[in-house]
Amino acid sequence: MTYITKISVPAPHGGFIVLPLVNKPLLWVLWIIIGSIISGVLLALIAGRFAKKDTVSAENSVITTSSKIKNGTSAINEETFDPSDILEIRNIKTDVDIPNRDEALKYLADFAVNNNLANDSKKVYASYANREQEGSTGMTDGFAIPHAQSAAIEKSAMLILKLKHPIDWQSLDGQKIDIVISFLIPQVDSNEHLKYLSNTAKLLTHEDFIAKLKIANTAQDIFNLFKNTKI
């Protein structure tokens, strides 16, 4: 921009010390400020993108690793972050009639707002949808673990939907999904949600837990199962 506006700086360097030598000092300073702002914004965007990729990579690792645990090829040693700590009976719905994954994500977003866990269903839905674009949260045995992180989410929470009819979710084993276990994550979270995700994935590798969850027909039954099952 200094070239386009024909600014000349006789001294090759020296910072603002050479300001008296510049033919258009105010414009020169303006271009420096604008350049600094643009550089700062670009740096923030790049850093944010890498941070997001790291988080998504970790989330995908949790989902993939749970499958390996079930097959006996891997193990997880996690601190105790019991998923039931952020689960309430009011956040469990059974016999939910939803035709597809997209409608399920919209239902979850509305559910979050109706239960005063978030303040903007469109933003929560957008977060769910963006996460699915990064990689499907469909696991195995008919389970999906979608999660949304947004400034619109006011508190960490776990939502559970037991569907009336199984739906497609691009799951790891190709099976349709009939139980959705979702996590709502505030914008500032310190990645604690990864530990809840990990331990939930671990629960879903235990055949006894899966069998009991499949036959649980009420919100109270599902709540009791999570509360009474130790990881």
Give CA angle at 185 (183, 191), nearest 5°: 105
The model's pTM: 0.67
What pLDDT, on the 0 to 100 scale, is given for residue 79?
47
What's the CA gap between 112 and 137, in Å, rounded? 18
Residue at token pair 């099976």: 175
What lies within 8 Å, CB to CB, of 84 at 6+ separation is 158, 223, 226, 227
Per-residue pLDDT of the chain (231 residues; tens, 9 = 90+): 555 655 545 444 445 443 443 445 566 567 677 777 776 666 666 555 544 555 555 455 545 555 544 555 444 344 455 777 889 999 999 999 999 999 999 999 999 999 999 999 999 999 999 989 888 888 889 999 998 999 999 998 999 999 999 999 998 889 999 999 999 999 886 667 677 878 888 888 889 999 999 999 999 999 999 988 876
Based on the number of CB atoms within 10 Å of its own CB, is 153 exposed (0-12), middle (13-18) or buried (19 or more)?
Answer: buried
Q: What was the pLDDT predicted at 229?
A: 85
Sign of CA dihedral 198, 200, 202, 204: negative
The pLDDT value recorded for residue 60 is 55
Domains of the chain: 83-228 (3.40.930.10)
